């Protein structure tokens, strides 16, 4: 039985019917979330399977972005889907993403995080960034991001360096957020 779809250019992709696995999303104060993720040497089937699992996990949570470290894998891999509820899914895959340029102009945005459940606060970030990353098939892409796209990619890239959005807040707000998450976990 063949488990791959072949394209004319020689690429192969697992079909959408491939069974994927939901992974546990780590939450604060799990120390794994503070680890710096390692670069991916090659985008192979194992990395693609990780991204497939991450997307399924993100959709089930539900969320709009997820970094591999949030599921306990210290690799520089991110998935996102910024499609609105009424739009078809638009999954994006980022391997070894990096910011090439960030605008001096910043903008505040209320952020939340699957690793800091039910906590939301305003974070100030560059309003535009130019990014470089590898795709699901290992191609290198450079593009400009602004608005929610810029916010989300910067948020997820922070995870790759062991930074949570609450690390951008005051110490008091950060401590309150962690305390609230711990309290929620005990109540569950």
Catalytic residue among 87, 104, 139, 156: 156
Instruction: State yes or no: is 98 an active-site residue.
Output: no
HSE of 79 in the Cβ direction (CA atoms, 13 Å)?
Answer: 24
Angle at 90 between CA 75 and CA 77, to 5 degrees: 5
Classified as helix, coil or strand, 97 is strand
Residue 136 φ/ψ, nearest 5 degrees: -55, -30
Contact in structure between 146 and 125 (CB atoms under 8 Å): no
147: alpha, beta or left? (left if phi > 0; alpha if psi -120 to 50) = left
* Contact residues for 62 (Cβ-Cβ < 8 A; gap 6+): none
Strands 128-134 and 140-146: antiparallel
Q: Within 10 A of 34 (CB to CB), how many other CB atoms are there?
A: 15
Question: Which residues are part of the catalytic machinery?
Answer: 156
């Amino acid at each position: 039985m063949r488990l791959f779809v072949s394209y004319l250019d020689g690429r192969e992709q697992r079909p959408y019917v491939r069974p994927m696995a939901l992974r546990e999303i780590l939450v604060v104060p799990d120390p794994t979330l503070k680890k710096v993720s390692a670069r991916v040497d090659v985008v192979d089937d194992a990395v693609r399977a990780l991204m497939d699992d991450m997307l399924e996990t993100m959709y089930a949570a539900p969320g709009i972005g997820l970094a591999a470290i949030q599921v306990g894998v210290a690799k520089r891999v991110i998935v996102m889907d910024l499609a609105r509820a009424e739009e078809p899914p638009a999954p994006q895959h980022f391997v070894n993403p990096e910011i090439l340029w960030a605008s001096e102009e910043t903008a505040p945005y209320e952020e939340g995080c699957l690793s800091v459940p039910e906590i939301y606060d305003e974070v100030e970030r560059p309003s535009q960034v130019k990014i470089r990353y590898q795709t699901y098939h290992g191609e290198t892409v450079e593009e400009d991001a602004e608005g929610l796209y810029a916010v989300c990619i910067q948020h997820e890239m922070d995870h790759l360096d062991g930074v949570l959005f609450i690390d951008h807040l005051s110490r008091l707000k950060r401590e309150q957020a962690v305390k609230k998450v711990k309290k929620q976990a005990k109540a569950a």
